[in-house]
Structure 1
Protein backbone atom coordinates (compact mmCIF):
# COMPACT_ATOMS: atom_id res chain seq x y z
CA UNK A 1 0.00 0.00 0.00
CA UNK A 2 1.38 3.39 -1.00
CA UNK A 3 1.80 6.13 1.59
CA UNK A 4 0.72 8.72 -0.98
CA UNK A 5 -2.96 7.75 -0.95
CA UNK A 6 -5.10 6.62 -3.85
CA UNK A 7 -4.31 7.66 -7.39
CA UNK A 8 -6.24 10.69 -8.61
CA UNK A 9 -9.38 9.94 -10.58
CA UNK A 10 -10.32 12.05 -13.59
CA UNK A 11 -13.82 13.47 -13.22
CA UNK A 12 -15.74 15.32 -15.92
CA UNK A 13 -19.36 16.35 -16.30
CA UNK A 14 -20.79 17.26 -19.68
CA UNK A 15 -23.52 19.86 -19.19
CA UNK A 16 -24.23 20.36 -22.91
CA UNK A 17 -27.58 18.59 -22.81
CA UNK A 18 -28.59 20.49 -19.67
CA UNK A 19 -27.63 23.81 -21.27
CA UNK A 20 -29.72 23.06 -24.35
CA UNK A 21 -32.68 22.15 -22.11
CA UNK A 22 -32.20 25.36 -20.10
CA UNK A 23 -32.19 27.45 -23.28
CA UNK A 24 -35.33 25.69 -24.52
CA UNK A 25 -37.06 26.51 -21.22
CA UNK A 26 -35.99 30.15 -21.42
CA UNK A 27 -37.30 30.52 -24.98
CA UNK A 28 -40.52 28.76 -23.99
CA UNK A 29 -40.95 31.16 -21.05
CA UNK A 30 -40.36 34.17 -23.29
CA UNK A 31 -43.18 33.03 -25.54
CA UNK A 32 -43.71 33.23 -29.28
CA UNK A 33 -44.27 37.01 -29.30
CA UNK A 34 -40.84 37.88 -27.85
CA UNK A 35 -38.96 40.20 -30.19
CA UNK A 36 -35.23 40.40 -29.38
CA UNK A 37 -34.83 43.59 -31.42
CA UNK A 38 -37.63 45.28 -29.51
CA UNK A 39 -36.15 44.07 -26.21
CA UNK A 40 -32.78 45.58 -27.16
CA UNK A 41 -34.40 48.89 -28.15
CA UNK A 42 -36.22 48.94 -24.81
CA UNK A 43 -32.95 48.40 -22.95
CA UNK A 44 -31.28 51.20 -24.92
CA UNK A 45 -34.20 53.54 -24.12
CA UNK A 46 -34.01 52.63 -20.43
CA UNK A 47 -30.25 53.26 -20.40
CA UNK A 48 -30.72 56.66 -22.07
CA UNK A 49 -33.43 57.57 -19.56
CA UNK A 50 -31.28 56.43 -16.64
CA UNK A 51 -28.52 58.88 -17.55
CA UNK A 52 -30.72 61.75 -18.75
CA UNK A 53 -31.32 64.88 -16.71
CA UNK A 54 -28.08 64.67 -14.76
CA UNK A 55 -27.03 67.76 -12.88
CA UNK A 56 -23.52 69.14 -13.43
CA UNK A 57 -21.89 67.06 -10.67
CA UNK A 58 -23.64 63.85 -11.76
CA UNK A 59 -22.60 64.51 -15.37
CA UNK A 60 -19.00 65.03 -14.26
CA UNK A 61 -19.02 61.70 -12.40
CA UNK A 62 -20.69 59.98 -15.37
CA UNK A 63 -18.05 61.39 -17.74
CA UNK A 64 -15.27 60.19 -15.42
CA UNK A 65 -16.77 56.70 -15.30
CA UNK A 66 -17.01 56.59 -19.09
CA UNK A 67 -13.41 57.83 -19.44
CA UNK A 68 -12.25 55.16 -16.99
CA UNK A 69 -14.06 52.46 -18.96
CA UNK A 70 -16.44 51.63 -16.11
CA UNK A 71 -19.48 52.68 -18.16
CA UNK A 72 -19.81 52.53 -21.93
CA UNK A 73 -20.52 55.74 -23.82
CA UNK A 74 -24.16 56.27 -24.73
CA UNK A 75 -25.15 54.77 -28.06
CA UNK A 76 -22.37 52.17 -28.05
CA UNK A 77 -24.61 49.09 -28.02
CA UNK A 78 -24.13 48.43 -24.32
CA UNK A 79 -27.50 46.82 -23.60
CA UNK A 80 -27.51 43.11 -22.90
CA UNK A 81 -28.33 40.98 -25.94
Structure 2
Protein backbone atom coordinates (compact mmCIF):
# COMPACT_ATOMS: atom_id res chain seq x y z
CA UNK A 1 0.00 0.00 0.00
CA UNK A 2 1.39 3.43 -0.98
CA UNK A 3 0.15 6.97 -0.36
CA UNK A 4 -0.92 7.17 -4.02
CA UNK A 5 -2.66 3.79 -4.10
CA UNK A 6 -4.26 3.08 -0.71
CA UNK A 7 -5.85 -0.27 -0.09
CA UNK A 8 -9.53 0.18 0.72
CA UNK A 9 -11.42 -2.08 3.11
CA UNK A 10 -13.86 -4.40 1.42
CA UNK A 11 -16.82 -3.22 3.52
CA UNK A 12 -18.02 0.17 2.14
CA UNK A 13 -20.17 0.63 5.27
CA UNK A 14 -17.06 0.66 7.44
CA UNK A 15 -16.54 4.24 8.79
CA UNK A 16 -12.81 3.83 8.19
CA UNK A 17 -13.36 2.93 4.51
CA UNK A 18 -11.12 4.95 2.23
CA UNK A 19 -8.90 6.29 5.04
CA UNK A 20 -5.26 5.31 4.55
CA UNK A 21 -4.66 5.04 8.30
CA UNK A 22 -7.87 3.09 8.94
CA UNK A 23 -9.13 5.62 11.51
CA UNK A 24 -12.83 6.30 11.94
CA UNK A 25 -14.21 9.85 11.61
CA UNK A 26 -14.58 11.81 14.83
CA UNK A 27 -17.64 13.86 15.75
CA UNK A 28 -16.67 17.51 16.11
CA UNK A 29 -18.96 20.23 17.45
CA UNK A 30 -18.34 23.83 18.44
CA UNK A 31 -20.76 25.75 20.61
CA UNK A 32 -20.67 29.39 19.52
CA UNK A 33 -23.29 30.55 22.04
CA UNK A 34 -20.81 32.46 24.21
CA UNK A 35 -19.13 33.99 21.16
CA UNK A 36 -22.50 35.10 19.76
CA UNK A 37 -23.49 36.69 23.07
CA UNK A 38 -20.16 38.54 23.17
CA UNK A 39 -20.58 39.70 19.55
CA UNK A 40 -24.09 41.02 20.25
CA UNK A 41 -22.86 42.86 23.34
CA UNK A 42 -20.12 44.49 21.27
CA UNK A 43 -22.62 45.55 18.57
CA UNK A 44 -24.94 47.12 21.14
CA UNK A 45 -21.99 48.89 22.78
CA UNK A 46 -20.87 50.25 19.39
CA UNK A 47 -24.40 51.47 18.58
CA UNK A 48 -24.59 53.32 21.86
CA UNK A 49 -27.39 53.99 24.34
CA UNK A 50 -29.13 56.67 22.23
CA UNK A 51 -29.91 54.46 19.23
CA UNK A 52 -33.64 54.32 18.53
CA UNK A 53 -34.54 51.44 16.19
CA UNK A 54 -37.98 52.90 15.37
CA UNK A 55 -36.41 56.23 14.43
CA UNK A 56 -33.80 54.42 12.34
CA UNK A 57 -36.55 52.53 10.50
CA UNK A 58 -38.44 55.77 9.80
CA UNK A 59 -35.23 57.30 8.44
CA UNK A 60 -34.70 54.28 6.22
CA UNK A 61 -38.26 54.52 4.89
CA UNK A 62 -37.76 58.24 4.17
CA UNK A 63 -34.55 57.43 2.30
CA UNK A 64 -36.39 54.84 0.16
CA UNK A 65 -39.15 57.36 -0.55
CA UNK A 66 -36.52 59.83 -1.69
CA UNK A 67 -34.71 57.20 -3.73
CA UNK A 68 -37.85 56.30 -5.67
CA UNK A 69 -39.16 59.86 -6.04
CA UNK A 70 -39.13 61.89 -9.24
CA UNK A 71 -38.76 58.91 -11.56
CA UNK A 72 -39.13 59.55 -15.26
CA UNK A 73 -41.53 57.42 -17.33
CA UNK A 74 -39.00 54.67 -18.12
CA UNK A 75 -37.72 54.50 -14.54
CA UNK A 76 -41.30 54.28 -13.27
CA UNK A 77 -41.97 51.41 -15.70
CA UNK A 78 -38.90 49.53 -14.44
CA UNK A 79 -39.93 50.24 -10.84
CA UNK A 80 -43.45 48.93 -11.52
CA UNK A 81 -42.00 45.79 -13.16
CA UNK A 82 -39.76 45.16 -10.13
CA UNK A 83 -42.70 45.60 -7.75
CA UNK A 84 -44.85 43.25 -9.87
CA UNK A 85 -42.04 40.66 -9.82
CA UNK A 86 -41.80 40.92 -6.04
CA UNK A 87 -38.24 42.29 -6.10
CA UNK A 88 -39.26 45.60 -4.49
CA UNK A 89 -42.07 46.14 -2.00
CA UNK A 90 -44.90 48.39 -3.20
CA UNK A 91 -44.67 51.96 -1.93
CA UNK A 92 -47.37 54.61 -1.96
CA UNK A 93 -50.14 52.51 -3.41
CA UNK A 94 -47.83 50.61 -5.76
CA UNK A 95 -46.32 53.70 -7.35
CA UNK A 96 -43.05 55.41 -6.55
CA UNK A 97 -43.44 58.66 -4.62
CA UNK A 98 -43.95 61.71 -6.79
Alignment of 1:1-81 (within 5 A): 3=9, 4=17, 5=19, 6-74=23-91
> How far does residue 14 in structure 1 lie from its aligned partner after superposition?
1.0
TM-score (ref. length: structure 1): 0.84
CA RMSD of aligned residues (A): 1.4
TM-score (ref. length: structure 2): 0.70
Highest CA radius of gyration, 1 or 2? 2
Higher relative contact order (CA 8 A, sep 6+): 1
Unaligned 5+ runs, structure 1: 76-81
Secondary structure of the structure 1 residue equivalent to 2:46:
helix
Unaligned 5+ runs, structure 2: 1-7, 10-16, 93-98
